Amino acid sequence: MRGRPTPFEPLDPDRPPLPEPQSDPVSETGVEDVACTRMSSVIELERAEAGDVDALLALREAAAVWLAVRGVHQWVPGEVSLLQISGQVTDGEWYVTRDGSSVAGALRLLWQDEEMWGPQPAVAAYVHGLVIDRRHAGTGLGVALLDWAGQQARRAGRGWLRLDCGEDNPALRGYYEREGFTVVGRRDFEGRGYAVVLLEKRPFEL
């Protein structure tokens, strides 16, 4: 598990004002299952079920190993347990997209994230654990998952979509920046020699 986070500098107070909430926000305890489109592609996500827990852990571990082999400290193999993911699924945090009966990609969508961002007003949705089956790498699935999360943020009247990225993972940081995210902060984790950068973007209409 990660060490205790240290304080980070406040977000830039000179950013543009938040947009007005949307007319039909969804509850913070549940997000509507909707289709997300970008150009000609359509992706559907649904809330993960108990039967998806093993697949979610397998995807997470495969991604962690893939990163570790390349010297990237984004995720550590074995740091997330089946019990943790099971609890997150029970809490309704995980959403999945399927390829037939298999989980092709997934993410956690949160409405607060004090561990990474500290106490914040209710102005953002937070993405964690975005992962895809490597067989779908290069298909645009990761971008489609982010688009979907942005759509949920808009529907909930949240003006920002936020996530974090390992500081020593420039490839992933560049990927997020190409998708419109901007670095707005940094957070260190004491005792681990580990730090993350904090990124956010406006969830534009698709």
pLDDT tens-place string over residues 51-66: 999 999 999 999 999 9
By the 8 A CB rule, do 36 and 151 touch? yes
pLDDT values of the chain reduced to their tens digit, one per residue, 206 residues: 344 344 344 444 344 443 333 323 222 222 223 333 343 355 889 999 999 999 999 999 999 999 888 887 788 899 999 999 999 999 999 999 999 999 999 999 999 999 999 999 999 999 999 999 999 988 999 999 999 999 999 999 999 999 999 888 888 999 999 999 999 999 887 766 778 999 999 987 54
pLDDT tens-place string over residues 39-48: 335 588 999 9
Look up the CATH superfamily of 35-164: Gcn5-related N-acetyltransferase (GNAT) (3.40.630.30)
Domain positions in the chain are: 35-164
| H-helix or E-strand spanning residue 152 | helix 141-155
- Measured distance CA(134)–CA(136) in Å, rounded: 5
C-alpha distances in Å from residue 131, one per residue of 19, 32, 62, 106, 135: 29, 20, 10, 5, 12
Neighbours of 20 (CB within 10 A): 8
Amino acid occupying residue 191: G
Report the helix count and the strand count for the chain, using DSSP H and E: 5, 9
